[in-house]
């Protein structure tokens, strides 16, 4: 069997512990015999052979990316390289790049109350990515996202309105997957810092999502 390859590129806001989180994901993938390349900076997306990777995992928050880099990244995903990631490291990477957001399926816009206790509801329990996990409680930022209606939602959370009354009762996607041209794209809103990867449900969902997305 041919060994699969993955690129994890990290940078941006240090509050999301991008390097530490990248290394956790690296260990996840190596456990499944992936050959993993980890690089700092968006220049990793300028590689002429980017499309040869089976999976790309962005770990960037609130950073700028050069036009040639984002164009090359999108072209690689369109051609079939898988894309997977979590939290703001994938859904708040490049705020000025709507084409990137079109690909990921969503963009972070708020986390009312900051770090709070909330619950996750599994909406498709028969899907292999979340099968057997069940609903669970979580403590982190509860992400409010602008999402693509074409995504396939696997888990949601419901806002109470305690911190933003106008969103009381809003049901928000937390975990999703979708197809983008020839590629599989996976996203989980969980994983604010590397410490959250110690939560069994968060870790298992992300690990399964990475494997699903890989070409």
- State the average pLDDT over residues 111-121: 98
Binning pLDDT at 50, 70 and 90, where does residue 1 land?
A: confident
> What local confidence, expressed as pLDDT, does residue 196 receive?
98
> 55-61 and 82-86 as β-strands: parallel, antiparallel, unpaired?
parallel
pLDDT tens sequence across 4-48 = 999 999 999 999 999 999 999 999 999 999 999 999 999 999 999
Task: Give me the domain span that covers residue 203.
Answer: 5-213
CATH number reported for the structural domain that contains residue 117 in this entry: 3.40.50.880
Chain segment 63-111, per-residue pLDDT in tens: 999 999 999 999 999 999 999 999 999 999 999 999 999 999 999 999 9
Q: What is the pLDDT of residue 140?
A: 98
Q: How many residues does the chain have?
A: 215
Domain count along the chain:
1
pTM of the predicted structure, to 2 decimals: 0.98
Share of the chain above pLDDT 70, in %: 100
In whole angstroms, what is the distance from residue 27 CA to residue 178 CA?
Answer: 25
- The answer to whether the CB of 3 falls within 8 A of the CB of 33 is yes
Q: Do the Cβ atoms of 29 and 210 come closer than 8 Å? A: yes
Distance CA 114, CA 118 (A): 11
Residue 215 confidence (pLDDT) above 90: yes
pLDDT at residue 85, rounded to an integer: 98
Strand ranges, E, within the chain = 5-12, 35-40, 55-61, 82-86, 106-110, 115-122, 136-141, 144-147, 152-158, 171-180, 183-188
Q: What average pLDDT does range 174-182 have in this prediction?
A: 98
**What is the reported pLDDT for 84?**
99
């Amino acid at each position: 069997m041919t060994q699969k390859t993955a690129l994890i590129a990290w940078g941006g806001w240090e509050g999301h512990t991008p390097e530490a989180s990248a290394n956790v994901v690296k260990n996840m993938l190596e456990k499944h015999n992936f050959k993993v390349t980890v690089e700092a900076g968006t220049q990793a997306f300028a590689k002429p052979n980017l499309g040869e990777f089976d999976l790309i995992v962005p770990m960037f928050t609130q950073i700028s990316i050069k036009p040639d880099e984002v164009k090359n990244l999108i072209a690689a995903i369109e051609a079939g390289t898988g894309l997977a990631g979590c939290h703001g490291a994938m859904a708040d990477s490049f705020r000025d790049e709507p084409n990137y957001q079109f690909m990921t399926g969503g963009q972070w816009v708020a986390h009312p109350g900051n770090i709070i206790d909330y619950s996750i509801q599994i909406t498709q329990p028969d899907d292999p990515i979340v099968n057997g996990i069940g609903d669970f409680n979580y403590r982190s930022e509860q992400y409010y996202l602008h999402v693509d209606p074409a995504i396939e939602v696997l888990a949601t959370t419901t806002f109470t309105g305690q911190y933003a009354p106008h969103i009381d009762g809003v049901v928000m996607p937390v975990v999703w997957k979708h197809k983008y041209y020839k590629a599989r794209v996976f996203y989980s809103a969980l994983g604010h810092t590397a410490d959250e990867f110690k939560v069994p449900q968060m870790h298992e969902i992300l690990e399964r999502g990475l494997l699903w997305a890989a070409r």
